[in-house]
Amino acid sequence: MAISPPPQNAAFIDAWLTDMDGVLVHEEDPIPGAAEFIEALKREGLRFQVLTNNSIYTPRDLRARLLGSGIDVPEDAIWTSALATARFLADQRPDGSAYVIGEAGLTTALYEAGYTMTSRDPDYVVLGETRTYSFEAITRAIRLIEGGARFIATNPDVSGPSPEGKLPATGSVAALITAATGRTPYYVGKPNPLMMRTALNRIEAHSEHTVMIGDRMDTDVISGLEVGMRTILVLTGSTRPDQVEHFPYRPTRIADSIADVVDLVRERAPGPHGAITVNDA
């Protein structure tokens, strides 16, 4: 696919962000090339972050799950929508309080950011992913929002994959709460570019020297683009090649899979500031 090359002066790449599901793994199963890609980044001394909108797990959980798939990602190289949400709230309102609907990934992140969990007059209602949405918890969230709590959600995804089929996700439950309260949440995860910016800040990377890899045009590619990164769309996830041209924006490059990206890291990144251009020339 012919795509114009990046500006000459922005040619070198010294940091990488990558989405997790659909790029490195399909749920539990590794995608061929994923382990090699991570090893190549480590060997070349390049900074990187693995991003996920899933707020269920802590980075430690996710590291263990990835390791179970043969992919060795350090805990501090994992950036979840739960961590991004905790970071956002700690910046906005330090030492605040929240009523949380979510799992350990979200509650741990909020505790570590200095937040208190409460169901009485919290600063925020924070909605994340869970597999056990409770009517009682949703009812409480609705009443707290009506009472003045600000409504935050980790990510807007309305559904997620499972071996048995589609599962309702955070965005669907947020829609229920919105219907009941008339209030829409502020979503921190992708496609909010905030998720990318905070990931970049974490590794002190600059967008013009960073590539974002993802399997979705409407989250990974758009938010990478809006932050000023070059983007690679891989076709191992939810996007078919024929769908790409329908979007009003394009990735810098399209790759069949992460296996094709390994060479971009390996061949042309001799050191922390190694030169690498990402284009189809």
Q: Is 14 in the site for Mg ion (CB under 5 A)?
A: no
- The backbone torsions φ and ψ at residue 178, rounded to the nearest 5 degrees and listed phi first, read -65, -40
Return the residue of 15, 16, 19, 232 that touches Mg ion, per CB under 5 A. Answer: 19
According to DSSP, the β-strands at 210-214 and 15-19 are parallel
Structure tokens at 69: 């798939």
> Phi-psi bin for 169: left (phi > 0), alpha (psi -120 to 50), beta?
beta
Whose tokens are 């090339």? That residue is 33
Whose tokens are 């003045």? That residue is 148
| Residue nearest Mg ion (C-beta atom) | 22
Q: Assess whether 29 carries a catalytic annotation.
A: no
Q: What is the 3-state secondary structure (H, E, C) of 209-233?
A: HEEEEECCHHHHHHHHHHHCCEEEE
- The window from 21-29, 88-96, 174-182, 184-192 that contacts Mg ion (CB under 5 A) reads 21-29
For the bound state, the minimum distance from the C-beta of residue 53 to Mg ion, rounded and expressed in Å, comes to 8
Nearer to Mg ion (CB atom), residue 209 or residue 216:
216
Provide the β-strand partners of residue 212: 17, 231
User: Hey, what's the torsion of the CAs at 107, 108, 112, 116, to 10 degrees?
Assistant: 30
Q: Assess whether 242 carries a catalytic annotation.
A: no
Count the site residues for Mg ion by CB under 5 A.
5
Q: Is 191 in the site for Mg ion (CB under 5 A)?
A: no
Q: Is 123 in the site for Mg ion (CB under 5 A)?
A: no
Q: Is 157 in the site for Mg ion (CB under 5 A)?
A: no
For the bound state, the minimum distance from the C-beta of residue 131 to Mg ion, rounded and expressed in Å, comes to 19
- The window from 15-23, 133-141, 167-175, 239-247 that contacts Mg ion (CB under 5 A) reads 15-23
Q: Where are the alpha helices (DSSP H) in the chain?
A: 34-43, 59-68, 81-92, 104-112, 135-146, 170-181, 193-202, 222-227, 241-244, 259-267
Nearer to Mg ion (CB atom), residue 122 or residue 237:
237
Nearer to Mg ion (CB atom), residue 122 or residue 251:
251
Return the residue of 13, 17, 18, 21 that touches Mg ion, per CB under 5 A. Answer: 21
User: Mask 215-244, x = binds Mg ion (CB under 5 A)?
Assistant: x---------------------x-------
According to DSSP, the β-strands at 167-168 and 159-160 are antiparallel
- The window from 20-28, 116-124, 162-170, 245-253 that contacts Mg ion (CB under 5 A) reads 20-28
**Catalytically annotated residues:** 19, 21
Judged by the rule CB under 5 A, the positions of this chain that interact with Mg ion are: 19, 21-22, 215, 237
